[in-house]
Amino acid sequence: MKLHKLFTLLGTILLITGLFGCASQASDASAPSNATSEQSVGPYTQEMTDDAAKALEDELGAFEITTAQRELAKSNTAGYEVLDAGRGNPNWVNAKARRAYTRLMDFAIEECQLDMEKGDMAGHGIREKIAERFDAAMNPNDEIDKFLIDAVAYCTEQLSINKAKLLVELTDGIIGNYYPDPSRCLTCTETILNDYLQSTLYADADLKETTQVFPTEGGSAAMSYVFHSLSHNHVLSPGDKIAIATPIFTPYLQIPGVNNYGLVSVSVTSTAEEGWDIAPKELEKLKDPNVKAFFLVNPSNPASHALSDKSLEALVEVVKANPDLVILTDDVYGTFVDEFRSVYSVLPHNTILVYSYSKLYGATGWRIGMIAMNEDNVVDKLIAQLPDEDKAALDDEYDIVTEDPASMRFIDRMCADSRSIGLYHTSGLATPSQVFMDILSLTHLVNKDADPYIEQSKALVRERYDALMGALDIKPDQDRENAQYYALIDINELCNARFGDDFTKWLNEQMTDLEFLNDLAAKKGVVLMYGPGFEAPEGNVRVSLANLDKDDYTEIARRLNELLDEYHLLYEQEAQLPKAA
């Protein structure tokens, strides 16, 4: 589609050029020869051909495009307050965990000062009788102290962790005066994180005793480590097929082609007609033994739906046919779905699990997440089956960090690879961050039978979702699998419902999805995400329900309808113009 008489992209193109350097020689060389520069009405606009618009969309990711739209929204012609529903960052935090972290830090510093105190200089914590000093320091009548007392009691009574060992790890860890030891994950931390994952993501499966954890700098780092190490260890090789569940978080679409991985993408698509579930027919693609890996976000982004039990059962059948399939699942939104079941809970042998605390606990800036793998896993099996030449070469690399490189598990190889192997002794997530993960986990675990914080988080996004759907007069999707963290809105369906099919066809002839979103930002101050950038169907936009208040979503709907009303007025005016001879 191209912009005809309405609003085009000049302002955005100039803005993107300034922000991201898209006017490079490489860009000019690849630009379509039929691109035009004819000026059109509107201060932001320049007429483009379909090919030129597509080239721009292909060159920039959806997030870079949205950054440009934020700049347009700041000076929107209506003078409205900017409403940015493009961000997935939540506008809430877990306050108890942060206050507990601060209180634990105070206790840890006091422990260090017992060893030495010379002005601002303190020593290392004293380990003897630390449990007794902790009990004496904590006030059971103080809310945060009481939580720390309960958290330590949970670890000792429910997880069988030695109290003194736990407190030494927590206090040394939060001070951050030592490298992580073990490098991959602190010992007590691994037990706590495993218990948290089982409680929140595994439904009825019992896997915490056979699961190993690698804390990472958020989910993005986890993905980078997984793909790098799969490639480095010859589990994935150039030309291998990797299936990706689409629509999906935009940067993950780009992973198969980056860093010379040379992987070939195969889309396994969910649709609105299937309730954004993956139909068994689509999953049949994974039975092809040439498909080496399957990557998904579950619940999905942008559709925000978890796999149904039916799809999980179909995936189990897939693995029976393709037993060496490596599955990589990002479950960051799992806690927003009632009775969520991770793919890892049904296929632990084949699945690498990635989880991040960012969305539930408002911790995107902390960059804390993890990779979890079963002790018995398909990746270790595939490495053991490599040709002798490849195994020998890998052994030569890893033997600088272990006496028995052949038996080094893949999860530990990822940790070593994260520091180019040679710096393995300084690898691992910062210990203060690992302690914060412990505390976040324990805010749930001490209340895991009825966690008020998680229930409040789910209720908050559902309230906003209902407000948006109600204001747009769209029937809400109340399926159990819908996390409602995001909403995909089909603008074409919205147009059909308000003005009929003829208007919708006319509008699609006038502008692209990208141009529509630029106009929404430039005229109404609303920023939404470009749906096709996630491989969502054309006409779809993603609305984050995480980062604005309930009334803001009602206002977004009002402004969106206001813009469509303006388009419809132009449509009626054009219909009244005399036809050219």
Give the chain's domains with CATH numbers.
Answer: 58-88+453-576 (3.90.1150.10), 204-429 (3.40.640.10)
Cis? peptide before 90, omega within 30° of 0: no
pLDDT at 257: 67
Residues 197-212 pLDDT 10s: 999 999 999 999 999 9
H or E element that contains 530: strand 529-530
What confidence tier does 253 reach under pLDDT thresholds 50, 70, 90?
Answer: low
Q: Report, as an integer, the average pLDDT of 333-358.
A: 98
What is the reported pTM? 0.89
What pLDDT does 379 receive?
Answer: 98
Using left for φ > 0, alpha for ψ between -120 and 50, and beta otherwise, residue 478 falls in: alpha
pLDDT of 120 > 80? The answer is: yes
pLDDT value at residue 33: 33
Supply the angle between the helices 491-499 and 550-576 in degrees, to the nearest 10: 60
Q: What pLDDT is stored for residue 58 in this prediction?
A: 52
Residue 32: per-residue pLDDT:
31
Instruction: State the pLDDT confidence band at 360, using cuts at 50, 70 and 90.
Output: very high
Instruction: Write the DSSP assignment of 66-122 as a string of letters.
Output: HHHHHHHHHT-TT-PPPEE------S---HHHHHHHHHHHHHHHHHHHHH-EETTEE
Q: What is the mean pLDDT of residues 347-375?
A: 98
Q: pLDDT at position 580, please?
A: 56
The radius of gyration computed from the CA coordinates of the chain, to the nearest angstrom, equals 26
pLDDT recorded at residue 47: 43
Q: Is the pLDDT of residue 571 over 90?
A: yes
Q: How confident is the model at residue 577 (pLDDT cuts 50, 70, 90)?
A: confident
pLDDT digit string, tens, across residues 33-91:
333 333 232 333 434 444 544 445 555 567 778 888 999 999 999 999 999 999 999 99
The model's pLDDT over 134-190, given as tens digits with 9 standing for 90+, comes to 999 999 999 999 999 999 999 999 999 999 999 999 999 999 999 999 999 999 999
The pLDDT tens digits for 488-513 are: 999 999 999 999 999 999 999 999 99
Residue closest to 146 by CA, chosen among 438, 436, 443: 443
Which has more pLDDT, 254 or 318? 318
CB hemisphere CA count around 230 (13 angstroms): 29
For all residues of the chain together, what is the average pLDDT? Answer: 89
**pLDDT score at 63:** 74
pLDDT in tens, 406-450: 999 999 999 999 999 999 999 999 999 999 999 999 999 999 999
Distances (CA, A) of 540 to 320, 333, 437, 517: 36, 21, 36, 10
- On the question of pLDDT at 371 being above 80, the answer is yes
pLDDT-derived band of residue 22, with 50, 70 and 90 as boundaries? very low
Q: Which pLDDT belongs to residue 21?
A: 36
Cis bond before residue 256 (omega within 30° of 0): no
Structure tokens at 393: 């070469």
